[in-house]
Amino acid sequence: SQTIHQWPATLVQPVGSPLSLECTVEGTSNPNLYWYRQAAGRGLQLLFYSVGIGQISSEVPQNLSASRPQDRQFILSSKKLLLSDSGFYLCAWRGLAVRAEQYFGPGTRLTVT
C-alpha cells in the first residue's frame, strides 16, 4: 500500500530564516506530487505540482520554491520566510491510473514569528 510522509510535523521559524519541508511517498512509482497551503479556516491553495523528476510548475508567484530531486521526494523551500508564510502545508500524490483523486500527507504546521 502507498504511504506519504511529511516532516517536520511542526516548525516555528523567525522571519527571514530559510525553510525546507520534505515529503516522500512509498509504494508507488512516478506519482504526480503536489504542495498545498491551508490557512486557518480556509480552503486549500495549490502552490506547486510536479509530474516528474526535475519538473516543477508553480501555481502562484510567492516566496517559496519546490524541487523534486528523486521520483518520490518533493521538497518545499524558502530562502527568507515572511510572516505571511505561516500555515499548514500539505503534500499530496496522485497515481497514473485513470482516476482523479489525490492522497494527502499528515501536514506540517509552520509558524513564522
Query: 70 or 80: whose CB is closer to another protein?
Result: 70
Cβ(89)–Cβ(9) below 8 Å? no
- Among residues 8, 18, 27, 52, the one that binds another protein under rule CB under 8 A: 52
Asked if residue 59 lies in contact with residue 48, where contact means CB atoms within 8 angstroms, the answer is: yes
Task: Please tell me whether residue 18 adopts helix, strand or coil conformation.
Answer: coil
Nearer of residues 57 and 113 to another protein, judged by Cβ: 57
Interface residues toward another protein, by CB under 8 A: 6, 32, 41-44, 46, 49, 51-52, 57, 88, 90, 94, 96-107, 109
